Amino acid sequence: MTHLLVRAARGERTDRPPVWLMRQAGRHIPEYREIRAEYSFREAIETPDVAKRITLLPWDLYEPDGLVMFSDILTVLEPLGFDYHIESGVGPVVENPVEGPDDAERPRGDVADDLSFVGDLLTKLVDEVGDETAIIGFAGGPFTLASYAVAGGASRNHGPVRRFRARHPEAFRTLLSAFADVVRDYLEYQAANGADVVQLFDTYAGVLSPADYREFVLPLHREILDGLSVPSIVFVRNMGGRLDQLDAVGADVVSLDWTVDMGDARAELGDRPVQGNLDPQYLFGEQSFVREKTREVIDAAGPRGHILNLGHGVHRDTPVESVRAFVETAKSVER
Ligand code: CP3
């Protein structure tokens, strides 16, 4: 049986849109917070049984059409010799960031060795729910990873990595391609271990000028996704007004943030399947509002090649009931 989500990713007409949420397995779920009281973030993602339990939390609550493996984009830092952790209240911290152009040349670990816990997790998920729902793998994109690697953590407007690009363009290129090589292997490794679909999160690459995106990042996005053995989704925020650049990536599906009008995107992207794009903050409205706005996205996207999702990750304080209303709205469509 081909999962509904995979069929939509291939551009097929579906009786209703498949639905999942970015960051669905996280802090908005009370049980997640209980599990995190017992394990550090890295323990949770690197222990397959714990990561599996967390991945399945949204399954128990909502039965979405896809389960995104519980992990993080930062896992690939390790094969490239970066140490990191997640500090509560601060976010990701890279302990040995890139300080100068010489740090852009990276040692190159083996994904299947260094990240074997991800393969184990995917195998367990496929065994448990692989017949019922699509298993979604993912990786960070080279620019977003480079932003953390250069700044050592979150940074305002990604100033440090943009400054690095200005001062050391060749080292910037070298660093991005080191990430791209690992990410390409990593996504194929996920597919080999049972991911039905993979999403490339280069969330922050939209802060680059169109010319820099075209020169430094677009060719790497193409390389990463070209010839992958499962359907792919590309997500970059703030690309409204230059959807042609996202289209050129060649992913099976373009994921849209909420600043893009779904109807306009459809007109611009032609037959390219799309994912999205409800404003995550809309889930803080009344349930009737959530249903109405969700329905508007579904109607604007039409019956062919649409995966319902938010325009970015679900916010940590989002009411479970609102997420349920969002998922149920997709499930109640009949066409
Ligand atoms: O979508 C899912 O449910 C699957 C898991 C997932 C996480 N992070 C879990 C997580 C995915 C797909 C990500 C992607 C991710 N991680 C991105 C790209 C997409 C996006 O949403 O922008 C980025 C930039 C990261 C880096 C990262 N990791 C950030 C910014 C944070 C949050 C830091 C903070 O404290 O706010 C993390 C940690 C993280 N990754 C958490 C979760 C559930 C929170 C950990 C916790 O505090 O328990």
| Protein residue with its CA nearest to atom 27 in ligand 1 | 92
* Separation of alpha carbons 232 and 138, rounded Å: 9
213 as an active site residue: the answer is no
CATH classification for the domain delimited by 4-331, as one of 3.40.50.1980, 3.90.1150.10, 3.20.20.210, 3.40.50.720 = 3.20.20.210
- Ligand 1 pocket, mutate which of 23, 143, 145 (most atoms under 8 A from CB): 23
CB of residue 304 inside a 6 A radius of ligand 1: no
* Catalytic position from the list 148, 186, 189, 282: 148
CB of residue 22 inside a 6 A radius of ligand 1: yes
7 as an active site residue: the answer is no
- Residue 1: the pLDDT is 79
Q: Ligand 1: which atom is nearest the Cα of residue 87?
A: 35
- Residue 83: the pLDDT is 96
Residue 107 Cα to ligand 1 midpoint, Å, equals 25
Residue 27 Cα to ligand 1 midpoint, Å, equals 10
- Residue 4: the pLDDT is 98
Residue 72 Cα to ligand 1 midpoint, Å, equals 6
Domain definitions of the chain by residue range: 4-331
Residue among 158, 182, 190 nearest 79 (CA): 182
Residue 219 Cα to ligand 1 midpoint, Å, equals 25
CB of residue 155 inside a 6 A radius of ligand 1: no
Residue 76 Cα to ligand 1 midpoint, Å, equals 14
Residue among 29, 5, 16, 93 nearest 315 (CA): 29
pTM over 0.85: yes
- Residue 88: the pLDDT is 85
CB of residue 159 inside a 6 A radius of ligand 1: no
pLDDT of the chain, 335 residues: tens digit per residue: 799 999 999 999 999 999 999 999 999 999 999 999 999 999 999 999 999 999 999 999 999 999 999 999 999 999 999 999 999 889 999 999 999 999 999 999 999 999 999 999 999 999 999 999 999 999 999 999 999 999 999 999 999 999 999 999 999 999 999 999 999 999 999 999 999 999 999 999 999 999 999 999 999 999 999 999 999 999 999 999 999 999 999 999 999 999 999 999 999 999 999 999 999 999 999 999 999 999 999 999 999 999 999 999 999 999 999 999 999 999 999 98
- Residue 111: the pLDDT is 96
